[in-house]
A and B are shown apart, each in its own frame.
Chain A
Amino acid sequence: MASLVRAAFSVSKNSLISTSVRSISTTKQLNIKEIREKVEGGNIVVEAVNVPSPRTELLVRAENLGPLKTIDVSEAVKSDKAPCYMCSLGLDVKHTDVLILSQFVRSDGCMLPRRITGLCKRQQKKIGKMVSMAQKAGLMINLTPANCKKDPTKRKDYKKFNTYFDETTIFMKNVPRWTDRFKFRQSAK
């Protein structure tokens, strides 16, 4: 009942309030923008400046690298869709590869959503977990919120000591404890 009411409300609201005028343009309307703030005589001026993407020139794509030798068969062939750019590159990314992982985060260290990264679901999960591994290990300490102290040795309790992670545990349902040697050997294969 509640969903029916909500649906009826949204339909009526859209029909009444929404403007039928849509801007149509043949050229590109939206560009990558950078928000800039500056103070002009007591007023703060916030403007969005169109900038070219800083990454386009350095971009690496599998189709530009010649024949697809490096493709990771196990992850790509499962679905009949074309593999995403990360799958087709077939890189073995570890959580210590901060130069790669830092491309998928905002300046506060937050993982970008899938509609922006354009990864497949599995890669998004994998990269997201490795980003949090790198953050927990303190390897991307400059990409953290502004109130962070920017020094991993000044964290509290167990967080101040060095931690490394095992990437094979990313898609495990439950990570075995170090005492469960038999179970671990089974799941590792």
Chain B
Amino acid sequence: MTAAKAATGTAIGMSGLTVRFTTRRSRTTALDDVSLDIEPGEFVTIVGPSGCGKSTLLKIVAGLVRPTSGEVSLLERPVRGPQKEIGFVFQKAALLEWRGARANILLQAEMRGMDRTQAARRADELIEMTGLTGFEKALPHELSGGMQQRVALCRALLHSPPVLLMDEPFGALDALTREQMNAELHRIWRETGTTVVLVTHSIAEAVFLGTRVVVMSPRPGRIIRTFPVELPAHRDYAQVMSDPRFDRLATDLRGLLGSAAANH
């Protein structure tokens, strides 16, 4: 698998990232001096208040936003323009409204010029795995928000990328489906060794999925602390929820996020 390529060195390196947005009406500092190194195979989850620059951070790693200052590298190479060794799941599903679910997933293959039959087989696997069976031909407006997001996830996984960037992928799901998707994503990550960076507002999700949880401050976004998650690599949802270490970490995170918001 392609992920093996990234087995040495850092998968993602960020140093001194600062981003200022200047619009006609205002100047916003979205990120302030953010540095973070992510090892290959890590699952880093990022939590922080709304508007603190989490989406911006992911887009910088993908090469879609250029930082005002600072350096980023992906798989040991400096990020200059848009990166293609990644799978990106946007905060909203961003589907083509004229394509059915399966065709939306296969967009990834068409845009990359991948082998068609192989891509089609992989797409069917992913559809099955994410419970989209029976909705292959449904247009986005015929799908629920959660299903749309699952289509976007399948699309991001189609080419088995070594790095997966996810921006609140399960925000639109109900709690139960969300747990299932978390467990599924955990399994995919374990099996593929993909490096994942996932932004979320759910503390439970951040702890269950992450090998490391990064907490950001309100705007301008800084990294307040990173917590290693001392849970086994192979996790079971029910087990994790009843684990005292989960409780302790979740309480710490909640406290930190709460005080950060209060001091703001």
* A in complex with B: no
User: Taking beta carbons and an 8 Å cutoff, which residues of B are in contact with A?
Assistant: none
